[in-house]
Chains A and B, each alone.
Chain A
């Protein structure tokens, strides 16, 4: 079974500072990797995705993530955060359902990023 671990449940950071949100996964097969963001009182939206190719992927709002196969990691980074980046961030991996008929997303437990003025 695949699993996703987000090592930090809460990350406070000052405005304009850099941030890294950590994500590790376990899988015996190739995976697709994703970061979703949930702003307060809203549903999740896709921030970025790794399917294949370049291991550095860029997403919306200045975020990027790097796929590291040897470390089984997919950490999310932003060089300078804004107050508006305050949200919960979920790492996710795409796996096969037990029936083999489709691929579902398995989510991590989430990291609450709070940007302080």
Chain B
């Protein structure tokens, strides 16, 4: 069974703080993704990585950065958190060549106050 884990289920941060969301997968997948999920908007892709140290911007990269130093780990960074970044963040992974068959973690609900 593929397992994608996220470091926190719930997180509360203050405006202006630097926030790190961590994601780890245990199936040696090449591709990893970060999405944010908002009611009525579905999932929107923030960033995508297809290999270590490689990344591609998704639909809404503004205000976010990512880091992938090891194949199993993909971090999402909010350099200076703002209230409009309050959301559910989902991490996913997939094998190379099957970009669309993604395995998701349980999500991190981030609240920025």
Contact = CB atoms under 8 A, between A and B. Distances in A.
Contact of A104 (B58, B90, B105, B106): B58
A57 interface: no
Nearest to B101: A46
Contacts of B31: 102
B interface, over-half SS: strand
Interface stretch (B36-44, B62-70, B76-84): B36-44
Contacts of A104: 45, 48, 58, 99
Contacts of B45: 104-105
B24 interface: no
Q: Which of B48, B100, B102, B106 has the most CB of A within 10 A?
A: B100
A44 interface: yes
B42 to A, nearest CB: 4
Nearest to A97: B56
A4 B30 CA distance: 26
Interface string B19-40: 0000000000001000000001
A13 to B, nearest CB: 21
Interface residues of A, number: 26
Interface stretch (A58-66, A73-81, A106-114): A106-114
Given A43-B107, A49-B101, A102 B43 contact: no
B74 to A, nearest CB: 14
Contacts of A109: 40-42
Contact of A9 (B40, B90, B99): B40
Given A4-B42, A43-B103, A102-B56, 13 more contacts: A6-B42, A41-B106, A43-B4, A44-B102, A45-B103, A45-B104, A49-B101, A101-B56, A102-B50, A105-B43, A105-B99, A105-B100, A107-B43
27 contacts: A9-B40, A32-B100, A34-B100, A41-B106, A43-B4, A43-B104, A44-B92, A44-B102, A44-B104, A45-B104, A46-B101, A46-B102, A49-B101, A90-B42, A90-B43, A97-B48, A97-B56, A102-B56, A103-B99, A103-B100, A104-B45, A105-B43, A105-B45, A105-B99, A105-B100, A107-B44, A108-B42
